[in-house]
Amino acid sequence: MTCNELHDLLDDYLDGELPQAQRTAFERHLDGCAACRRQLSREQALRADLKAMPVPAPSADFAERVLRQAVESNVDHHHRHGFVTGFGSALVAGLALWVVVGLFPVPQDTAPSGQAPLQTVSIALNETQDVKLVFNAERVVLGARISIELPDNVAIAGYPGRKRLEWQTDLAKGSNLLRLPVIATGTDAGQLVAHIEHDNKVTTLKIQLDVQKPDLTGTVRLPAQRMA
């Protein structure tokens, strides 16, 4: 093997891509050629130094922030447009169904009972989809009690047969995401009702679920604006 031939194979040698026979000839040449050994050393040093260039750590809340922004940016997008048109079963399965923003504590402009206006969401039959409720809390709320009541034809994935879920949780100040993996087993329309209770105050959200057969195109209607 000549020096020029070795130089042509240098990258493959360092990448570990050289066939055995060529590798043997390559190394045999190296044993007897100081110039080629220096060339190999320079190439190895270049690669080592490239790898040694430091990367500063990202900002402390990087992961949380980019994930949150990915969600919130898409919520804002859907709300600005007001609706998403056209779905097949695959699209619906991946569609982020953002529904309603519940406000807690009870806002001034809701009914005295703390009920928000009825919202409507279309979901596909026999397909699990995430219906996402975003609750904006003006302050941290500890020990809020959330309950979800489901219509007869709707279940929450992972909780077969349950028509009511109830639990206690804390709410962070700002946006709190409640992700409901709903699956409709029948085409009857029905209402999903969410109550959130704290300190003897209750906010109620009612969501009208219209169940569509997956091969129909249609409109997923989202609320035109978020409650402030």
Partner 1 sequence: MRNILPFTARRKALPDFETLVRPHLNHLYRLAYRFCGHRQDAEDLVQDLLIKLYPRHAEVARVEKLRPWLVTTLYRMFIDGTRRKARSRLELIDDETSFYDSVASSDDRPEQSLAREQRIERMQQAFERLSDDHRTLLTLHDIEGYRLVELEEMLDIPLGTLKSRVHRARARMRQLLDETVDASPGAHE
- Pairwise CA distance, residues 192 & 164, whole Å: 10
Give the DSSP H/E element, type plus range, for residue 173: none
Nearest to 218, CA basis, from 118, 83, 99: 83
Q: Is 220 helix (H, G, I), strand (E, B) or coil?
A: strand
Nearer to partner 1, 41 or 217 (CB): 41
The CA distance from 105 to 32, in Å, is: 82
> Among 27-35, 113-121, 154-162, 207-215, which window interacts with partner 1 (CB under 8 A)?
154-162
Binding-site member from 56, 86, 112, 161 for partner 1 (CB under 8 A): 56
The one segment of 29-37, 60-68, 99-107, 216-224 that binds partner 1 by CB under 8 A: 60-68
Q: How many CB atoms lie within 10 A of CB 206?
A: 17
Query: How long, in residues, is the chain?
Result: 228
- Burial (0-12, 13-18, 19+ Cβ within 10 Å), 113: exposed
The token duo for 39 is: 């060339």
Question: Considering the rule CB under 8 A, would residue 109 count as an interface residue with partner 1?
Answer: no
Nearest to 99 by CA among 114, 113, 78: 78
Q: Out of 4, 20, 59, 108, point to the residue binding partner 1 (CB under 8 A).
A: 59
Please identify, using beta-carbon distances, which residue of 58 and 186 lies nearer to partner 1: 58
- 60 scored as a contact of partner 1 (CB under 8 A): no
123 binds partner 1 (CB under 8 A): no
Q: Does 90 bind partner 1 (CB under 8 A)?
A: yes
For residue 208, the minimal CB distance to partner 1 (Å) is 21
Residues that bind partner 1 (CB under 8 A): 11, 15, 17, 41-43, 45-47, 49-56, 58-59, 62-63, 65-74, 90-91, 93-96, 128-130, 134-135, 146, 156-158, 167, 169-172, 174-181
